[in-house]
Amino acid sequence: MSPWLHKQRNLLDFTLSSLSRRRGKTLGMMAVYTSIVFVLASVMLFSHAIRREAATVLAKSPEVLVQRMVAGRHDLIPARYLDAIKGVRGVQSAEGRLWGYLFDPAAAANYTLMVPTNPRIEPGKVVIGDGVVRARSADPGDLMSFRAHDGALVQFKVDKTISRDSALVSADLFLVAEEDFRRLFGIAPGLFTDLAISVRNPREVTKIAEKIDAALPDTRIILRDEILRTYESVFDWREGMLLVLLAGSILAFAIFSWEKASGLSAEERREIGILKAVGWETGDVIRLKMLEGMVVSLSAFLIGYLLAYLHVFHFGAGLFEPVLKGWAVLYPKYRLAPFVDELQVATLFFFTVFPYTIATVVPIWRAAIVDPDTVMR
């Protein structure tokens, strides 16, 4: 090993024993620091994961949606509109969708009913999301019955439950066959909830939307990109609110750490004097203190981040679920798909580890340029 390496190793060893000798101060500092990193990282991880979740969901949704509007309200759309749409140049395919909400008095929860086309569900069967599974404690093979629009009883046999790649959205799903859907709500054949359209060239989406709008004046056209933007802004807003709340605590932390780290006790001052008198250069002393700051802040960062990761991805972000998720009815518990963004980690790292290390070094700098002969007194 080179002398340089030996020197670093010796300094690090000494740093660790210095820290352990001020155990109380070190641990207190670490605890506060860790919890700050924990909260910040939790917010970041959570909002990022949930946004990605939304994006995943939307990626599967159609590029263009057409709804019929009657008196300013969303109404059922007749199948003949499909022909008009298929006539527009650039439209690749168009199909009618059936979906809606069903209130289940037994569970006091709303389900999202949908009729998938691929694969189709057999009449009389239902495929349910795991939120529904939990709300009704239903297993495959069980029967669930609901009252249709006319009061008749409609029964479903649970076929299977949905494997979830996106828990947030699939939890309350209730997938049924077209016949059953129409019977439940009394919707005549030839009517759909809305129309899903895919286009040949994504760059022509707005053009095509304009053409459809011109051909079918009583419709409202919704683009996927718009939904994406709305989601983004909703999440941004919620996240922003949380961050504002956090800013207060971060500020408090900054003041606290400045005070803790920068206040040089007489004892520390004496130690620096001793180190200098026995032949340490000012640079060595500063390096030592910097290492101390780094050991504290780095371990706090790592522990805090790890805890945040567990909190968000294994314990469902229990602490601020209510704030960030808002409208959840059926999602008492779910797990986000783990996802870590490097840039995010770097940002958090920079704003926590860096300032603390500086805060420890500044006062030392002042102390370290004091003449070493003071220890002789």
Residues that bind another protein (CB under 8 A): 1-7, 9-11, 13-14, 17-18, 20-22, 267, 270-271, 273-282, 284, 371-373, 375-377
At closest approach, how far in Å is the CB of 269 from another protein? 12
| Cα 185–Cα 113–Cα 196 angle in degrees, nearest 5 | 95
The token duo for 186 is 């009394």
- Closest by CA to 116, choosing from 178, 160, 188, 172, is 178
At closest approach, how far in Å is the CB of 2 from another protein? 8
As a whole number of angstroms, the distance between CA 226 and CA 221 comes to: 10
As a whole number of angstroms, the distance between CA 28 and CA 7 comes to: 29
Select 51 or 276, whichever has its Cβ closest to another protein.
276
Select 25 or 136, whichever has its Cβ closest to another protein.
25
DSSP E strand stretches across 36-118:
64-70, 73-75, 77-78, 91-97, 99-104, 109-114
Close Cβ partners of 204 (under 8 Å, ≥ 6 residues apart): 90
At closest approach, how far in Å is the CB of 3 from another protein? 3
At closest approach, how far in Å is the CB of 350 from another protein? 30
Select 60 or 366, whichever has its Cβ closest to another protein.
366
At closest approach, how far in Å is the CB of 268 from another protein? 11
Q: Considering all CA atoms of the chain, what is the largest pairwise distance in Å, rounded to the nearest integer?
A: 99
Pairing of strands 173-175, 109-114: parallel
Cα–Cα distances in Å, from 26 out to 134, 237, 260, 261, 293? 45, 37, 10, 10, 10
